[in-house]
Structure 1
Amino acid sequence: MTQASTPGRKVDRDEVFVEFTKSICPVCKTPVDAQVNIRENKVYLRKRCTAHGQFEALVYGDAEEYLSSARFNKPGTLPLTFQTDVRDGCPSDCGLCPEHKQHACLGIIEVNTGCNLDCPICFADSGHQRWGSPRSSEAESGGGYSITHEQCARMLDVFVESEGEAEVVMFSGGEPTIHRHILDFIDLAQARPIRNVSLNTNGIRLATDRAFVAELGTRDQVPDRSVNVYLQFDGFDERTHREIRGRDLRTFKQRALDNCAEAGLTVTLVAAVERDLNEHEVGAIIEYGIDHPAVRSVVFQPVTHSGRHVQFDPLNRLTNPDVIELISSQRPEWFQKGDFFPVPCCFPTCRSVTYLLVDGEPGNRTVVPIPRLLNVEDYLDYVTNRVLPDPGVREALEKLWSASAFMGTATTEEKLRATAEALDCADSCGIDLPSAVKDLNDKAFMVVVQDFQDPYTLNVKQLMKCCVEEITPDGRLIPFCAYNSVGYREQIRSQMSGVPVAQVVPNALPLADRLTTTPYGSKAARTEGDVR
């Protein structure tokens, strides 16, 4: 009689399956199935392309926050018009198509592909054209282009047709300030029902052309309209500048800011934050911004690994909660983790915001985040069945926690003032609340953390709620992350230049240098068959 063999022992996976979704292959950009998993309190996206193998990327550094953020997912608002039909499904029908879940809070017009920098990190792959064209601010060849006056007018009209009264349009590039018609483009926007213009710039012209800055300042004084400068500002170390921008720009940034202050312009500092490069500078950037008279907000953007960028490891990238943790650890007297809340108009894991009340002088500041004076969660929780304390406050907070919120605009000031009326400050908060409310223009400050998706992290579920749209010369509104990751940028550049533009393959670490989780949970090196 033979003895039965002992059954093997089953082993649990080392990850929790969260959901099934769609993504793209980062090499060929073909739509593929994907899954979201949690491992060691972090969220990962895994997908497989039949031609190029398996890929995995870290998408969120705090699994608990990722799951709890769902209650901040505000119902979307339909645009007035759609520009494309549904044929192949997301992300192949962008334009916007009727399956998109949100209107455009912010429209972006890229006026050119030329630039006066050749940054090693550039999601738009601007500056030098890798297809052999000489750098030029206007008539480029070999993959580059500049839009005309007529094209800009039509793009603005498309935005208004979709939005009615639009809140914000951003002029970007390339470097928009080198386009000879950029002031005319701002005039075109201000002549339409578009309340605010943002100018996305590296600041070189602002530092060297005070007459140009003065012209921007006059446009900021147009009744019911504003101009905000969205200034590239990555840190203070020379290494930071050279590795992100290719040259030391610290003097240019200071001059640009001082010239903006002289012209009365409101500035947002925008920092690209890369792992092991300028992580240590986020607290100093906020403090510098609070102290400078022109600056009213700071935006931190973990580096998007699309376009041009340094080599990276998809499993070890910065995400929004990582940046918030850096802010809290570097300025613990001002910030804590709970001061930031997800933005409900987009997918809530994409963008987090806080507002500050600031008092005192440089070196002796009192900084109090508004969420400590008002239970923001009571108003921006769209799932929990609770009695809303004040619908007017919710409406104000929805405008403040929005991709269309920019400091220096009439809308933001109005909603901040409405919110301030509901604030409650005990003596322990250390700020003169009545004085701060009275002087909101000087004492309110905004901090944003925005993580854009790249070909490794693209999740169609998030993409369908995107409210930041690229306005294209052919009359489409394409979600920003789709434009940079799926191949739309190359498509538009080819259309505009008449030159075929190749897809950009992400510069990830070689597969042999990365580890991934096998379907059974154990760690194993990728094989040579899993080629990029």
Structure 2
Amino acid sequence: MTQASAPRRKVDRDEVFVEFTKSICPLCKTPVDAQVNIRDNKVYLRKRCRDHGQFEALVYGDAEEYLTSARFNKPGTIPLTFQTEVKDGCPSDCGLCPEHKQHACLGIIEVNTGCNLDCPICFADSGHQADGYSITHEQCELMLDAFVASEGEAEVVMFSGGEPTIHKHILDFIDLAQARPIKNVNLNTNGIRLATDRTFVAELGKRNQVPGRSVNIYLQFDGFEERTHLEIRGRDLRTFKQRALDNCAEAGLTVTLVAAVERGLNEHELGAIIEYGIDHPAVRSVAFQPVTHSGRHVEFDPLNRLTNPDVIRLINTQRPQWFQKGDFFPVPCCFPTCRSITYLLVDGDPGNRTVVPIPRLLNVEDYLDYVTNRVMPEAGIREPLEKLWSASAFMGTATTEEQLRATAEALDCADACGIDLPQAVKDLNDKAFMIVVQDFQDPYTLNVKQLMKCCVEEITPDGRLIPFCAYNSVGYREQVREQMSGVPIAPVVPNALPLADRLTTTPYGSKTVHAEEGESSS
């Protein structure tokens, strides 16, 4: 007689299933099914391609914040026109197609693919390649008109590249934008020409004086260490950055410092960048962008990347005298996990600063909570906050200044906050400072649910408005470049870690491939 074997016991999975969605294969860019799961209080996207296997990437470093961010998901606004029809579904019909859920808060025009740098990381894969292009006056006009047709009165257009300042007609392009119902122009630049051509900076300053219009500088600024510059930009640009900022201050231009933040490289410099920005007279805001692993980039591990909550925690840790948990809030016009913002009131001199985030003085959460409706906020405060917590909000613009002033008048500051609030409201141009944390999606992290609410759009020379993350991840960038240059463009294969380094035990007891072996073609 044999002894009965012990009954088998079921085992719980080590993750919680959150939702089913769609993504793309990071190698062949084919749309695939995907799922979002929570593990160890972090959020992961897992997907499988029939030809290339299974992939997984970290998409959000704080599961609790990921789930609660849904309260800040504002209903989208329908654009005045759509440029394409629905045929194959997102992300194959850009754009904008009628299924897109949001209008364009920010339109981006890439005026060229050429650049005076060949940065080791560049999602646009720009530089000195022979297969590049530059747009003409006629193409720029068509692109601006497509933006206006979609928006009516557009808030912000950004001229980018490549390096837009080396385009021989860039000042003309700014004039074309200012002649249209577009309130503000942002110039996205590495700063080399701003550092070496004061006449050019003066011309930008003149255009910043046009009534009802502004020109703002979006300046690459990744940190202060030589290693940071060499590994991100390929050369030491610290002297150029300082000269560019000083020239901008002299010309009366407002600057946003834009830091590409890579795990293990410059993540320890975030607090210093904020402090430097607060102290420099030209700088009114800082934007931190975890590195987008599309185009050119350094070797990376999709499971060990920086995400928005990671950046915010680093800021809090590096400047605890200024920041604490709860000072940043998601931006509701896009998908709320894509971007977070805070505004500061700043007083005092360097070395004796008082810095108070506005969310400490006003219950921003209640005004931007679109789901639970715990309170019935006053419409007079909610509207300015909606415009401040928006992808179209940039310091130095009349709209942002107006909404900041309306918000500041509703602030409540006890003596303990250390700010002379009436004086701060009076001197708001000097006292207010903005910090943005923006995580753009790449071929590993692309989630169609987020993409459908994107409000940052690339404007193509043929008049389409394509969501930024789709443009850089799905293959639209290569398509446009091939059409414009006439040179076939080979797709860039993600430069992920070697295959053997990305095998882990799955909840099913087998092995999962997080990325296929591949060498970058750049």
Cα-to-partner distance string for 1:298-344 (whole Å, 9 max, x where unaligned): 00000000000000000000000000000000000000121000000
One-letter amino acid matched to 1:231:
L
How far the C-alpha of 1:527 sits from its partner, in A, is 9.9
One-letter amino acid matched to 1:362:
P
- For 1:191 and 1:61, the matched residues in 2 are separated by 43
How far the C-alpha of 1:518 sits from its partner, in A, is 1.8
Q: Among 447, 450, 456, which residue is 2:444 paired with?
A: 456
Aligned position for 2:21: 21
TM-score under structure 1 length normalisation: 0.96
3-state SS, counterpart of residue 356 of structure 2: strand
Aligned position for 2:224: 236
Aligned position for 1:304: 292
Aligned position for 2:328: 340
Answer yes or no: is the 8 Å Cα contact 1:145–1:496 preserved in 2: yes
Aligned position for 2:102: 102
One-letter amino acid matched to 2:75:
P
Distance 1:303 1:217, change over 3 A: same
Whether 1:87 aligns to 2:107 is: no
One-letter amino acid matched to 1:515:
L
How far the C-alpha of 1:128 sits from its partner, in A, is 3.0
- For 1:527 and 1:481, the matched residues in 2 are separated by 21
- For 1:389 and 1:494, the matched residues in 2 are separated by 50
How far the C-alpha of 1:103 sits from its partner, in A, is 0.1
- For 1:210 and 1:495, the matched residues in 2 are separated by 36
- For 2:164 and 2:499, the matched residues in 1 are separated by 38
Cα-to-partner distance string for 1:55-81 (whole Å, 9 max, x where unaligned): 000000000000000000000000000
Aligned position for 1:114: 114
> What are structure 1's unaligned runs of at least 5 residues?
134-142
- For 1:266 and 1:397, the matched residues in 2 are separated by 21
Whether 1:8 aligns to 2:8 is: yes
One-letter amino acid matched to 1:291:
D
Cα-to-partner distance string for 1:357-380 (whole Å, 9 max, x where unaligned): 000001110000000000001100
How far the C-alpha of 1:524 sits from its partner, in A, is 4.2
Aligned position for 2:397: 409
Matches within 5 A, 1:200-239: 200-239=188-227
3-state SS, counterpart of residue 298 of structure 1: strand
3-state SS, counterpart of residue 337 of structure 1: coil
One-letter amino acid matched to 2:296:
R
Cα-to-partner distance string for 1:450-497 (whole Å, 9 max, x where unaligned): 000000000000000000000000110000000000000000000000
Aligned position for 1:137: none
> What are structure 2's unaligned runs of at least 5 residues?
none
Q: Among 154, 157, 162, which residue is 1:166 paired with?
A: 154
Q: Among 133, 155, 160, which residue is 1:145 paired with?
A: 133
Whether 1:71 aligns to 2:59 is: no
Answer yes or no: is the 8 Å Cα contact 2:155–2:182 preserved in 1: yes
Answer yes or no: is the 8 Å Cα contact 2:496–2:517 preserved in 1: no
TM-score under structure 2 length normalisation: 0.98
Matches within 5 A, 1:257-406: 257-406=245-394
Cα-to-partner distance string for 1:273-317 (whole Å, 9 max, x where unaligned): 000000110000000000000000000000000000000000000
How far the C-alpha of 1:10 sits from its partner, in A, is 1.0
One-letter amino acid matched to 1:249:
L
3-state SS, counterpart of residue 258 of structure 1: helix
- For 1:430 and 1:387, the matched residues in 2 are separated by 29
Distance 1:527 1:404, change over 3 A: closer
Distance 1:313 1:104, change over 3 A: same
Answer yes or no: is the 8 Å Cα contact 2:55–2:514 preserved in 1: no
Cα-to-partner distance string for 1:367-425 (whole Å, 9 max, x where unaligned): 00000000001100000133323111110000000000000000000000000111000
- For 1:107 and 1:525, the matched residues in 2 are separated by 39
How far the C-alpha of 1:517 sits from its partner, in A, is 4.7
Q: Among 434, 440, 444, which residue is 2:432 paired with?
A: 444
Q: Among 463, 476, 495, which residue is 1:488 paired with?
A: 476
Identity, % of aligned pairs? 89
- For 2:236 and 2:2, the matched residues in 1 are separated by 79
Answer yes or no: is the 8 Å Cα contact 2:34–2:45 preserved in 1: yes
- For 1:300 and 1:340, the matched residues in 2 are separated by 13
Answer yes or no: is the 8 Å Cα contact 2:344–2:357 preserved in 1: yes
Aligned position for 2:30: 30
3-state SS, counterpart of residue 453 of structure 2: coil
One-letter amino acid matched to 1:449:
V
Answer yes or no: is the 8 Å Cα contact 1:270–1:299 preserved in 2: yes
How far the C-alpha of 1:531 sits from its partner, in A, is 5.4
Aligned position for 2:53: 53
One-letter amino acid matched to 1:258:
D
3-state SS, counterpart of residue 161 of structure 1: helix
- For 1:470 and 1:90, the matched residues in 2 are separated by 16
How far the C-alpha of 1:515 sits from its partner, in A, is 3.3
Distance 1:337 1:263, change over 3 A: same
How far the C-alpha of 1:510 sits from its partner, in A, is 1.4
3-state SS, counterpart of residue 9 of structure 2: coil
Answer yes or no: is the 8 Å Cα contact 1:512–1:527 preserved in 2: no
Answer yes or no: is the 8 Å Cα contact 2:56–2:514 preserved in 1: no
CA-based RMSD of the aligned residues comes to 1.2
